[in-house]
Structure 1
Amino acid sequence: MPKLGMEPIRRQQLIQATMTAIDEVGLADTTVAVIARKAGVSTGIISHYFGGKDGLLEATMRRILGDLGESVRQRQAILEQDTARGHLRAIVEGNFDRSQVSQSVMKTWLAFWATSMHKPSLQRLQHVNDRRLHSNICYQFRRHLDHEQARSAASGLAALIDGLWLRGALAPEGINITRAVTLGHEYVEEQLANTTAP
């Protein structure tokens, strides 16, 4: 019988082991047995908590997405003024937070994106994440721009964030966080130039 309170600890161990395994051997060779070995548990524990490898990958991505949301919220919480510019800068910075650019997290993101094209549950999660990012960005741009301009600006910033992140993840030298954030901020400034808050 498992000890009371062990489930959250076991889940976290398995999520961390999943990211480590993907980092070391890639998703195709990350088997339930490999994950269980890295976590120091039996394979039955993975089936019990997650139903298998796909369920564990989904839980891992939910954790990473939770970390992403928290990194943005922390930046927004310390804004001196409630401005669209400040919130948009927080979104850019949060997407390049250390929690999103470690080698194991970046490889897990890449594995998730590739797998989501073939797994409906992961595809739904990716779709929700995309919609949330676009919606949050669009909401802030709407404070200065009309509906169509805000949608266009939001699509551009979301694509810029994803593109900079992807290029950095695939670059042999890794991601240049400072440069990526600077380019994101410059885009925000260009979109909000010559506008005033309603």
Structure 2
Amino acid sequence: MARSAEPIRRDAIVKATIQEVARAGTLEVTVAQIARRAGVSSALAHHYFGSKEAIFVAAMRHVLIVYGAEVRGALATAETPRERVEAIVRASFGATSFRRESVAAWLNFYVLAQAMPEARRLLALYHRRLRSNLVHALRG
């Protein structure tokens, strides 16, 4: 497979992970299930990520990146402290946050953070950024 296809395949695997976790309602999905949904082989998924846990962490990172983009987009036009807080709340509780995939991803990634240091680190980073955004918004 061409090297230029790697980012596309990695992204497909990450998105398939989120979809499979939502479908199953648990982290008890296999790399084979994820790979099948992504349209790649299990071997390729392992080649790109090294382990199922690394795939889960990449999916968690993707969810956090999407959320961060939503927050930044909402904050772009907010001028007052109240508008900034409202923007953060809108981004945190908007319609996309309540899609089946989003809810399943967030809940299962909180579970993942209990067992995996890398996932725990990402979750702590998310909490620090959320707190920082709120404190900054309130300070004006």
Structure-1-length-normalised TM-score: 0.66
Note the alpha carbon deviations across 1:61-91, whole angstroms, 9 max, x for none. 1111111111111122233xx2111111110
The residue that corresponds to 2:21 in the other structure is: 22
**Identity across aligned pairs (percent)?**
35
Cα distance in 1, alignment partners of residues 28 and 115 from structure 2: 17
Higher relative contact order (CA 8 A, sep 6+): 2
The residue that corresponds to 2:31 in the other structure is: 32
Instruction: Output the aligned Cα RMSD.
Output: 1.4
Match of 1:140 among 128, 133, 137: 137
The residue that corresponds to 1:9 in the other structure is: 8
Whichever structure has more helix as a proportion of its residues is 2
The residue that corresponds to 1:162 in the other structure is: none
Match of 1:99 among 93, 96, 101: 96
Largest Rg, 1 or 2: 1
Unaligned residue ranges in structure 2 (runs of 5+): none
Cα distance in 2, alignment partners of residues 72 and 28 from structure 1: 27
Task: Name the aligned partner's letter for residue 128 of structure 1.
Answer: L
The residue that corresponds to 2:43 in the other structure is: 44
Q: Give the superposition deviation at 1:120.
A: 0.7
Contact 1:20 1:104 in 2 (8 A): yes
Unaligned residue ranges in structure 1 (runs of 5+): 144-198
Structure-2-length-normalised TM-score: 0.92
Residue 115 of structure 2 aligns to a residue whose secondary structure is: coil
Cα distance in 2, alignment partners of residues 9 and 142 from structure 1: 41
User: How many residues matched?
Assistant: 140
